[in-house]
């Protein structure tokens, strides 16, 4: 009789560095499996990929046994690694923080192809390019015209912002210059203060 899967858990762990400490222990402890056994099996399976973050899906069975499937590193991780940046753009596609080549994009797409919803490397490249664009990473040769247009738009927006700031500064300066005098009619000044 086949074992019944009771639960599936997804984790992203640095290759070869799984240990019973959080987050691994806190996620797998309530599931009732042998955490040390999982850590040793995961580390053995990923020791050749040191430095990468490896997602894995753990299937836990009704008898508290388990098995796991390793996935390819996340596209964002691979893009940051190739572009040599710590994090993506805060403004998404509106701010370019790095540029990669079409060949580098192809190598990431080939790596990610088994886990993507794509049949060809070209389709996978389009998916990875979209992720790169959202992270503020440009691809040479694929979106050069779009990058030029974005640079023009960004320069125009910056000029508009500076113009608005100058107008605001002028309005604040003119507001400070105006003083209002109040004249009290019909009452004694001292009675107003009381």
CATH number at residue 92: 1.10.10.250
Q: Is residue 184 domain-resident? A: no
Same domain, 63 and 93: no
Residues 55 and 117 in one domain: no
Task: Return the pLDDT at 184.
Answer: 65
In a domain, 110, yes or no: yes
Write down the pLDDT at residue 69: 92
Answer yes or no: is 112 within a domain: yes
Indicate the number of domains in the chain. 2
Residue 129 lies in a domain: yes
What would the pLDDT profile of 68-103 be if each residue is shown by its tens digit? 999 989 888 999 988 888 888 787 777 788 888 889
Distance CA 107, CA 111 (A): 6
In a domain, 171, yes or no: no
Q: What is the DSSP string of 56-76?
A: EEEEEETTS-EEEEE-PPPHH
Do 124 and 93 belong together in one domain? yes
Structural domain containing residue 18: 5-70
Which of 70, 98, 115 is a domain's end point?
Answer: 70
pLDDT at 175 over 70: yes
CA distances from 100 to 84, 104, 151, 157 (A): 10, 6, 17, 26
pLDDT of residue 143: 59
CA distance 13 to 73: 10
Query: Can you give the CATH number for the domain in which 29 is found?
Result: 3.30.1550.10
Average pLDDT rounded to a whole number, residues 18-36: 86
Q: What is the C-alpha separation between 77 and 83, in angstroms, rounded?
A: 10
- Give the pairing type, strands 98-100 and 137-139: parallel
Q: Are residues 58 and 88 in the same domain?
A: no
**CB neighbour class for 52 (10 Å; exposed up to 12, middle 13-18, buried from 19):** middle
pLDDT tens readout for residues 118-171: 889 999 998 998 888 888 888 887 656 666 676 677 777 888 888 888 888 888
pLDDT of residue 180: 60
Position 46 in a domain: yes
- pLDDT of 186 > 80? The answer is no
Query: Structure pTM?
Result: 0.64
Residue 58 inside a domain? The answer is: yes
Q: What are phi and psi of 17, to 5 degrees?
A: -125, 25
d(CA 69, CA 59): 8
């Amino acid at each position: 009789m086949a074992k019944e899967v009771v639960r599936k858990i997804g984790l992203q762990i640095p290759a070869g560095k799984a240990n019973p400490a959080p987050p691994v222990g806190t996620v797998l402890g309530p599931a009732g499996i042998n955490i040390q056994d999982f850590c040793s099996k995961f580390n053995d399976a990923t020791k050749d990929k040191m430095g990468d973050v490896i997602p894995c899906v753990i299937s836990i069975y009704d008898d508290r046994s388990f098995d796991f499937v390793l996935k390819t590193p996340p596209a964002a991780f691979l893009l940051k690694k190739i572009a040599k940046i710590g994090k993506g753009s805060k403004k998404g596609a509106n701010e370019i923080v790095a540029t990669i080549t079409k060949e580098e994009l192809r190598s990431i797409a080939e790596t990610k192809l088994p886990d993507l919803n794509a049949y060809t490397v070209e389709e996978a490249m389009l998916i990875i390019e979209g992720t790169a664009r959202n992270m503020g990473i440009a691809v040479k040769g694929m979106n050069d015209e779009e990058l030029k247009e974005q640079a023009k738009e960004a320069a125009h927006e910056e000029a508009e912002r500076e113009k608005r700031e100058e107008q605001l500064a002028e309005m604040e300066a003119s507001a400070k210059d105006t003083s209002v005098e109040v004249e009290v009619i019909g009452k004694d000044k001292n009675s107003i203060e009381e």
